[in-house]
Structure 1
Amino acid sequence: MSLPLFKLKDYQVQTLASLRRFLEKAVELNDADTAFYAVTKRPFTPPPNLPGLPYVCLRIPTGGGKTILAAHSVEVAADSFLRTDAPTVLWLVPSQTIRDQTLATLQDRAHPNRRALAERFGENVRIMGITDALYAKRADYDGGAVVIVSTIQAFRVEETEGRKVYEANGELMDHFSGLADGLRDKLETGPSGDPLPSLANVLRLRRPMVIVDEAHNARTNLSFDTLARLSPSLIVEFTATPVTPDEANPTKGIYASNVLHHVSAAELKAADMIKLPVILRGRPEPKDTIGDAIAWLDELVSLATAEEGETGEFVRPVMLVQAEQRSKDRPTLHAEEVKKLLMEDFRVPEEHIAIATGDAREIDGVDLFDRDCKIRFIITQQALREGWDCSFAYVLCSVAEQKSPRAVEQLLGRVLRLPHATRKKREELNRAYAFATTTSFQNAANTLRDGLVNNGFERVEAKALVRVAQDTIEGLEKGGSAFVFEEPMPEGTDAVALKANIENATGGRVEVDVEKGTIRARGALTDYDRTALLLAMPEAAATAVEALVHRSRGARLKPADVEQDAVHFAVPRLGVRSAAGLQLFDRAHYLDIPWKLEDSDPAPVLDFFAPPKPGADEAHVDVDTGGHVTLAFVTDLHEQLALALQEKGWTKNALVNWLDRRLPFSSRRDITRVSSTLFIAKALDVIDAKFGLGIEGLARAKFRLVEALVKVIAKHRDTREATAFERALIPQSGLDFETSADVELVFDESRYGYNSPYRGGTDFRKHLFRVIGDMETSGEEYECAVYLERHRDVKAWVRNTARQPHSFWLQTASDKFYPDFVALLNDGRVLVVEYKGGYISTAADAKEKRLVGDLWADRSNGRCLFLMIENKEFTRIDRAISG
């Protein structure tokens, strides 16, 4: 039985769509520089010694799934830029450890990374390391996708492995037999003047796509010189921390990344990929810090057990303990000392502890996800093994005050991933926790925030996502007194007799006040402390023990800045009432699925298809803005790949089936395979009748055909959907619309997604959340936000971000419509405002939005208001509210 495909998150789909748009634009303009500016409106930094090369960066914070995106990017590049079924990919990673890990996932046919490749190339995928590549034959490359995983160091001539890459190798001779004349002059030659049979020349022939994982580690002149020697077709970087223009210094060989797309922490949080916020609790003494952390880990274990009982999902929370380095000059809590402390002072069994440092590697080969694994505490110093990834890690405990964000950034990244990328019902299991030894909660918070920035988060986000626990502030400001918790013992308990036993059993963490008849905890109590207390005290005191343990842990470990009277903001949504009940209004209510595409006219395909010019007429040069003649990079690339990859014999049925498989899901989501193949066959007949290409000519233009088919299908679908949508909204449609709280959206800060945080200086106190997403610092939309902020009738408002999973939307003909602002009025009504700016491309688009917005308001029985505003007509807000 085949496994289901890994479903990409919305932000991952958008990331790959950005890459596709850029590469398609690079083909259209035959220039990466102008294509990058057209897509991003930012200047392009060309890579040194690689003129014309498309070279972009996808910025993905820690926990965002860089590797799965890299695997999917191969399909995107093959179809939208390389235009080949047999791409060669050079996948560069920062270390041997990551190389081995990446190779393992790509070679495992059940792993999502490999399945991402198989989704496009089927079984025609070959995964190799450098050693394998030195023996790979021509047939290995011609048969499908080839991915070579390596470090960039392996391609440097000073390395033994690197020398082999450039040396003559008889195993590779068949790659160079029968070479076309146009290919020979692109290769490095030996003493005889013939192409050298080297792996480097094999790659020069195949024009590899280069994927660079953690690209900030490979941005020197030497790295680019090494890549230039391999004649790549494009470079795509994946990193959390790209080099910014401010950090770039070309004179020192440091070049800025061309960031094509940036994923925010909020998008990861909204997609249930990471645990946020990070809750910080600080104590002045290391022993107290460890005790608090263990106690909270115990609390999380209890919550996880309850969660499993309810949902069936197994999670076993783990704690990372950051020890100090050994020192000859002073005593330190190094790894062995921390282990001793855990065992002797906190009664942690040795089998629950593992040390992971440079000298001790006790978690190597251990499956921490195994239900029978006993490890609960992992002691390290500055870093864990590269590539270590266990989403069960929830708690970071540092026994020494940290001054540098670099000291915590990697470990902080280890506790951010949310297990199984699934939101938990218990909110405590959706957060990460940091317990710091510190005398200043502000310094500790700033260090953690800087650590998040070093993991790829925006500084504005980091400030909002590290939250100091209330008891930390009280405890440090009051000299630790806020960490003392007290419970009365049952009447008749002999406090004098129990005092010594209790205090000895808990290592002094629980004291007995004989005069008051109470037990007092100094700091949080662990499960081990609870057991010791229950054994030391009479059975009648069990309730007091449980209450003391619960209170000491801060079971409601709340951030200090949580307002007790936070606004609850729920928005009724538009539904359709039927015999099945009330359902959200969407495409299914006005479209018949599947769609019989074959009934549509294929002739409009001619509006989108132009046959390729004969090779002799192709332009291979261009003129840049300075008047210099430059190589037309894309044209040359396609010609070389066509020469290197000879096409097989084609039949019409084979071509139709190939084109059908290449149609993206967006083109065929409501079309059966029979319907699409019938339409494709008709479209091919129309094109052949017009241009007389014949089957071989059509096959050579197959990637152009895919583009034309995607566009003509989209045109037919737009017409179909617009007509059906308008019919659905008229009273005669028979649809019973209702705007109801039964299908409401509740705005929740923990699920608020956006791509970029607002960085302006205006203090928006009425915005429901700390961070405002996707709003410019000036302009008409910004002025609309200011108007809402200052309106006396507005209690709270939200910048409603587009294409986020927990934003408010209304269905239009072909897509979801995300209005710009949603406001809660003082009288409880909801106001939705769409500012009609230049981004609304057509009058038809605006008409659809107005129709569905007015319908949503009309069916709300006066609870909801909808406005579409343009030209700064903000006073219409006053009239709508008062009217």
Structure 2
Amino acid sequence: MILKEYQKRALNSVSEFLQRLAEWRAKQAKVLEADPDTTFDWVSRAWEATVPARPYLPRRNGLGEPLPAFCLKIPTGGGKTLLATKIIDLANVHYRRDPHGLVLWVVPTTQIYNQTLRALKDRGHPYRQQVDLASGGRTLVLEKTSGFSPRDVADNLCILLLMLPSANRETKAQLRMFRDSGGFDRFFPAEDDVQGQQAFLKRTPNLDTFEQEGDFWGRQVKTSLGNTLRVLRPLIVLDEGHKAYSRNAKATLEGFNPCLIVELSATPPTGANVLINISGQDLNKEEMIKLDLRIRNLASTSWKDTLLASIEHRQRLEVEARRYEADTGEYIRPICLVQVERTGRDQRRTGVVHAEDVREYLLHHPDIARNQVAVKTSQKDELKEVDEVGGLMSRDCPIRFIITKQALQEGWDCAFAYVLTILTNPGSKSALTQLVGRILRQPRAKKTRVAWLDESYVFCFQRRGNELLKEVRRGFGLEGLGDLQGRVVQAADGPLEANERTVRQRERYRKATEDLVLPAFMVKDGKEWRLVHYEADILSRTRWDDVNLQGLLDLPLGDEIRRDTELRAGLGTVPLTADTAPAAGWTPAGGEPTADYAFAASHLLDVMPNPWRGYELIRRTFDALIEKYPREQVVGSYVFVLDELHKHLVGERDRLARGVFKGLLDDGTMRFVVVTRDLGFNRLPRAVQQPVDAKQVNRTDGSPYQRDLLERMVEGDLNELEHKVATYLDQQERLFFWYRNRPRHDYFVQGWKRGRIYADFLATLRPDEPDVDDAFHRVFVIETKGIHLKQAADTAYKRSVFDICSEHARKADWAEFVPAMSRVKMRFEIVDEEEWEKRLNAMFAE
């Protein structure tokens, strides 16, 4: 699964924090060796080194030790579960330094529990695939009723799902997980092993016991699941983390002696250590959510009129969805969620809207079949049958309407849910607030470019306008989308129409742009030329045998030999002992530690797509290091070497890919050319869609743009630097027109790295000769870079690609493919913030 940009940024920040944690923990250990009485809060130090501007509220586990705990603020629909699986891998590599061990995954509701459990048990699901990648294919998904042994935890990544209410009660005596159980006795000393029991309690003093200190047998440790968790020091993933800030919940989770707590929440409370703050705008830019949210508030007093209006609107959406499928092959079946007032068998009466009243009304509609309607309540769950046909998003699922009261308020996800129909009492203020998040997720996390299918819809009746908007906006806030409250639009009492306007090219530019075709790198494929693809044409030709590992072979290794500790409880009066085991990724063989190359190769798949090649490179690296350093020293530096190898291979991959790219150009297999056929990005758009209510943007002096290709530009299209550049372009007399190139929509250049390069502006220049027929003779492709990005590696890469584009554009004869481009010259330029105006002046003067 390809990560969104905000997800990549989040994981980079988490990785940095985890590495800082490991560094400061090691520093604390060295201080304690020198002076056992000298301590400092190493977790806070790591936080300050990562996010110095944010305060950190220290926490401690049940042993009184510093407890690293951080929160990811991720709005609804932002992919928090996927990020959690990625963070497990990062924590194991950088902080725990062991691909195995126990992860305690805590969720607040049955709905979320079932969804998470189903996904993690499905080996074809991206969540399970990610944790399998982290564990080298050795993953066990457990429930609190599952039995597991010390060997299971030592050899596998064990993920134990737990409901928060199961561990959040006033008295632990009421909880089964804290009761003595025969299923976990292998984690503890034998009952008659008095010395072993005492040593065990000394190591973990907050274990639950039976007897008191002065009893004949002394304190006996309970062999419960709760005690097992305390001994194993799990990594805790806390879903909907804001629900675990009561005194009891915090005390219980901290009492499990976790090594790390990772919280996921759309609305973290005061006191949460927010490491990552993802905004609604981030999701909207990456096409993760359906916006605008459009509300139709009917004046009718009859709930049936409201339901009928939503039925008709859903039908219109299905018509659009079928057209979209015919064009793209991608299936969407719009679903309408209907909230009622009563669902119970004995609650049906006059004056309230019952689930069965709604079902009967729906089934009287000539276009609605019985199997298209399902009721979801705490007592009746007709959606269970859907799982047998592959879930709500399967083509085999017929459901179009889901009737509920409260069962879908939390933890329920279906991107096909487009319409929310509220049939509850107009005086109820909670319905919209609690359910609005269920219809915001965008199918396949990408816009369809069909306005009807890129928005979400609410139908209700007899609501006060101001109160209605407050409810929905409060709902946005509860979903972590507070910064998108302006994307809520209330419609008049009438049919809903798409809330976008079509903005076209200015009339004076339309004829000229018909002949403007933008160049692209094309590859010869038989007799045809096609667009170059990174994986198929660049990465596939990369010669991994040419990877230079010399820089790694000279890698200096530290003297510290890291060992994990494995506890072993003796029988009878044999005292408890501590055995040492090799570091993560290494297994004993013939009495000596040996590298697990397969596990290491799994962590290089994002760089090295061929695991067999990765395996060979890892073997060469570690074998060479073992010849240079003592085996145990290489063992102790396993994670460090793996990290350095990953960084080195990224550089080598890009170096070799650049050679492939150059070779294809040199031998003519690839050319930078213009082609007559529409590639979807090589021509300027005749029109674009813009939100109706978006505010128009003018030049920095307040006057409207005159040379912009389009008739209108709106807020959000330009940052501060781009606004200055756009104003400058608009003021140039020789300029014919300029265009703000839209990322992920318009013109791009594919270089030798995976990501496409979307420039910021395209500008056309009039010819000097007054009587020339051509409206423009020069085209500039301009990318702007802020001061902080001038020296960045990404900027240097883009500059190199643009230099190649300009070089080949100078030599190209566009007339070979597009005669109308015969006299057009093109130039590609990176413009830095500190000298942007000087640079543009020089370009236009040449």
Do the structures match in fold with TM over 0.5? yes
Structure 1 equivalent of residue 316 of structure 2: 299
1:418-433 equivalences under 5 Å are 418-419=442-443, 421=445, 424=448, 426-433=450-457
Structure 1 equivalent of residue 56 of structure 2: 45
8 Å contact from structure 1 (residues 32, 52) kept in 2: yes
CA pair 824-339 structure 1, distance change in 2 beyond 3 A: farther
8 Å contact from structure 1 (residues 208, 233) kept in 2: yes
SS at match of 1:84: coil
8 Å contact from structure 2 (residues 502, 689) kept in 1: no
Structure 1 equivalent of residue 568 of structure 2: none
**Which segments of 5 or more consecutive residues in structure 1 lack a partner in the other structure?**
1-5, 249-254, 476-482, 484-552, 617-638, 753-757
1:617-628 equivalences under 5 Å are none
Structure 2 equivalent of residue 188 of structure 1: 206
Distance across 2 between alignment mates of 1:592 and 1:320: 46
SS at match of 2:158: strand
8 Å contact from structure 1 (residues 206, 644) kept in 2: no
Q: 1:397 aligns with which of 409, 414, 421?
A: 421
8 Å contact from structure 1 (residues 18, 261) kept in 2: no
Structure 2 equivalent of residue 128 of structure 1: 142
1:273-292 equivalences under 5 Å are 273-287=288-302, 288-292=305-309
Name the stretch that deviates more: 299-308 or 813-822.
813-822
Q: 1:610 aligns with which of 539, 544, 558?
A: 558
SS at match of 1:117: helix
1:575 and 2:575 correspond: no
8 Å contact from structure 2 (residues 502, 688) kept in 1: no
Structure 1 equivalent of residue 486 of structure 2: 463
1:668-707 equivalences under 5 Å are 668-669=608-609, 672-691=610-629, 693-694=630-631, 696-707=632-643
CA pair 458-880 structure 1, distance change in 2 beyond 3 A: farther
Distance across 2 between alignment mates of 1:810 and 1:260: 31
Name the stretch that deviates more: 289-298 or 345-354.
345-354
- The one-letter code sitting in structure 2 at the alignment partner of 1:657 is Y
- The one-letter code sitting in structure 2 at the alignment partner of 1:222 is N
8 Å contact from structure 1 (residues 92, 149) kept in 2: yes
8 Å contact from structure 1 (residues 384, 411) kept in 2: yes
Q: 2:187 aligns with which of 163, 171, 175?
A: 175
8 Å contact from structure 1 (residues 318, 395) kept in 2: yes
1:335-354 equivalences under 5 Å are 335=355, 338-339=358-359, 342=362, 353-354=373-374
**1:111 to partner: Cα distance:** 3.5
Name the stretch that deviates more: 331-340 or 656-665.
331-340
Distance across 1 between alignment mates of 2:485 and 2:411: 23
- The one-letter code sitting in structure 1 at the alignment partner of 2:799 is R
Distance across 2 between alignment mates of 1:404 and 1:572: 56
Distance across 1 between alignment mates of 2:169 and 2:758: 57
**1:407 to partner: Cα distance:** 2.6
Distance across 2 between alignment mates of 1:764 and 1:174: 78
CA pair 385-207 structure 1, distance change in 2 beyond 3 A: same
Distance across 1 between alignment mates of 2:349 and 2:702: 50
Distance across 2 between alignment mates of 1:183 and 1:644: 26
Structure 1 equivalent of residue 543 of structure 2: 595
Q: What are the superposed Cα offsets for residues 637-679 of structure 1, whole Å, 9 maximum, x if unpaired? A: xx9996999974137995162464243223324xx55544444
Count of residues in correspondence between the two structures: 739
Structure 1 equivalent of residue 477 of structure 2: 453
1:94 and 2:108 correspond: yes
Structure 2 equivalent of residue 661 of structure 1: 601
CA pair 874-182 structure 1, distance change in 2 beyond 3 A: farther
- The one-letter code sitting in structure 2 at the alignment partner of 1:223 is A
Structure 2 equivalent of residue 22 of structure 1: 17
Structure 1 equivalent of residue 411 of structure 2: 387
Structure 1 equivalent of residue 29 of structure 2: none
**1:716 to partner: Cα distance:** 3.9
1:241-256 equivalences under 5 Å are 241-243=267-269, 248=270, 255-256=271-272
CA pair 392-689 structure 1, distance change in 2 beyond 3 A: closer
8 Å contact from structure 1 (residues 820, 833) kept in 2: yes
Distance across 1 between alignment mates of 2:583 and 2:627: 30
**1:23 to partner: Cα distance:** 1.7
Name the stretch that deviates more: 69-78 or 349-358.
349-358
Distance across 1 between alignment mates of 2:546 and 2:101: 32
**1:874 to partner: Cα distance:** 1.8
Distance across 2 between alignment mates of 1:644 and 1:183: 26
Structure 2 equivalent of residue 78 of structure 1: 92
Structure 2 equivalent of residue 626 of structure 1: none
1:513-662 equivalences under 5 Å are 557-559=497-499, 562-563=501-502, 565=504, 572=518, 574-576=520-522, 578=524, 579-584=527-532, 593-597=541-545, 600-602=548-550, 604-607=552-555, 609-613=557-561, 648-650=587-589, 655=595, 657-658=597-598, 660-662=600-602
**1:297 to partner: Cα distance:** 1.5
Distance across 2 between alignment mates of 1:825 and 1:325: 64
Q: 1:856 aligns with which of 801, 805, 815?
A: 805
8 Å contact from structure 2 (residues 102, 159) kept in 1: yes
- The one-letter code sitting in structure 1 at the alignment partner of 2:501 is V
Q: 2:785 aligns with which of 820, 831, 835?
A: 835
Distance across 2 between alignment mates of 1:346 and 1:315: 22
- The one-letter code sitting in structure 2 at the alignment partner of 1:687 is L
Structure 1 equivalent of residue 672 of structure 2: 737
Distance across 1 between alignment mates of 2:601 and 2:96: 17
Pairwise CA RMSD: 4.7
CA pair 784-441 structure 1, distance change in 2 beyond 3 A: farther
8 Å contact from structure 1 (residues 165, 199) kept in 2: yes
SS at match of 2:783: strand
In the superposition, the TM-score normalised over structure 1's length comes to 0.71
- The one-letter code sitting in structure 2 at the alignment partner of 1:277 is D
1:231 and 2:166 correspond: no
CA pair 852-137 structure 1, distance change in 2 beyond 3 A: closer
**1:749 to partner: Cα distance:** 7.3
Name the stretch that deviates more: 50-59 or 702-711.
50-59
**1:575 to partner: Cα distance:** 1.6
**1:721 to partner: Cα distance:** 5.1
**1:77 to partner: Cα distance:** 1.8
**1:89 to partner: Cα distance:** 0.4
Distance across 2 between alignment mates of 1:355 and 1:845: 52
Distance across 2 between alignment mates of 1:374 and 1:392: 12
Distance across 1 between alignment mates of 2:45 and 2:406: 43
CA pair 678-371 structure 1, distance change in 2 beyond 3 A: closer
Structure 2 equivalent of residue 209 of structure 1: 235
Q: What are the superposed Cα offsets for residues 38-69 of structure 1, whole Å, 9 maximum, x if unpaired? A: 44453242343346433222233222333333
CA pair 117-577 structure 1, distance change in 2 beyond 3 A: closer
1:403-422 equivalences under 5 Å are 406-419=430-443, 421=445
Distance across 1 between alignment mates of 2:108 and 2:333: 30
Q: 1:199 aligns with which of 225, 234, 240?
A: 225
CA pair 787-49 structure 1, distance change in 2 beyond 3 A: farther
Distance across 2 between alignment mates of 1:873 and 1:451: 43
Distance across 2 between alignment mates of 1:727 and 1:836: 32
8 Å contact from structure 2 (residues 43, 67) kept in 1: yes
SS at match of 2:440: coil
Distance across 2 between alignment mates of 1:16 and 1:442: 40
Distance across 1 between alignment mates of 2:559 and 2:690: 48
SS at match of 1:212: strand
Structure 2 equivalent of residue 625 of structure 1: none
Structure 1 equivalent of residue 761 of structure 2: 822
CA pair 225-847 structure 1, distance change in 2 beyond 3 A: closer
Distance across 1 between alignment mates of 2:183 and 2:379: 41
SS at match of 1:874: helix
Name the stretch that deviates more: 184-193 or 418-427.
418-427
Structure 2 equivalent of residue 262 of structure 1: 278
SS at match of 1:871: helix
8 Å contact from structure 2 (residues 170, 248) kept in 1: no
SS at match of 2:56: coil
1:97-116 equivalences under 5 Å are 97-116=111-130
- The one-letter code sitting in structure 1 at the alignment partner of 2:789 is Y
8 Å contact from structure 1 (residues 575, 584) kept in 2: yes
CA pair 675-577 structure 1, distance change in 2 beyond 3 A: closer
Percent of matched pairs sharing the same residue? 24
Name the stretch that deviates more: 52-61 or 307-316.
307-316
